[in-house]
Homo-oligomer: A and B are copies of this chain.
């Protein structure tokens, strides 16, 4: 099944544009879970079971698993397998922000889709189209191109002016000439004006946006900037604010409803 179809199905079923980020840090896991054998997986399992009917996708950021080496990655595998078996209708985004020359990108694509079996991956378009083709060949997967990141220093290199346009917009104008149905777009929710300008260039693409939780982006602005004409087509990621809250279910529910309020 194509990503967009799977995504639209779950958006309708769960009435949600909320993506929960599984950025699980051992140092922040409750003590009762730390005692278990695979604490990172067990923690994720609880989050997933508590929120599965409130989300449109899950997004593990692979850095958090790599930090704990082979063991951490083994627990990411358990998490992916759990999702794929118990909730196969929910898309998984591997937030890996990969990018390399074509011969190497081929291996990253193999990892993301043949090993992790993710439904989507985040990648930097900085190396150009040749570096993206090995990902784009997986036609049912969404290849999410990072155009504008959510962090405070992102303007330094992402807002350079090129013929009076900022860098990320100049990139967007080239990317829109690439005729691949499975390109997705990332713009941080902390930059709602930028999100709006990029959305105007890609009215029909699926977007991923992050920053409405811990990074304090305003939900109203982000939602109005990010949705398409059908008031859908975008996933808003929240990680820390949901997964480390006292009640991940309540918190996810609040975020889902707040996002829906502004759709």
Contact = CB atoms under 8 A, between A and B. Distances in A.
Interface size on A, as a range, is 35 or more
A101 to B, nearest CB: 4
A103 to B, nearest CB: 8
Interface in A68-85: 68-70, 73-74, 77
Copies in the complex: 2
A1 interface: no
A169 to B, nearest CB: 11
Contact of A97 (B98, B152, B155, B171): B98
A245 interface: no
A9 interface: no
A125 B156 CA distance: 10
Contact of A167 (B63, B110, B149, B167): B167
Interface in A45-82: 61, 63-64, 66-70, 73-74, 77
Name the 5 nearest CB pairs between A and B, nearest first: A128-B153, A66-B111, A128-B156, A63-B107, A130-B153
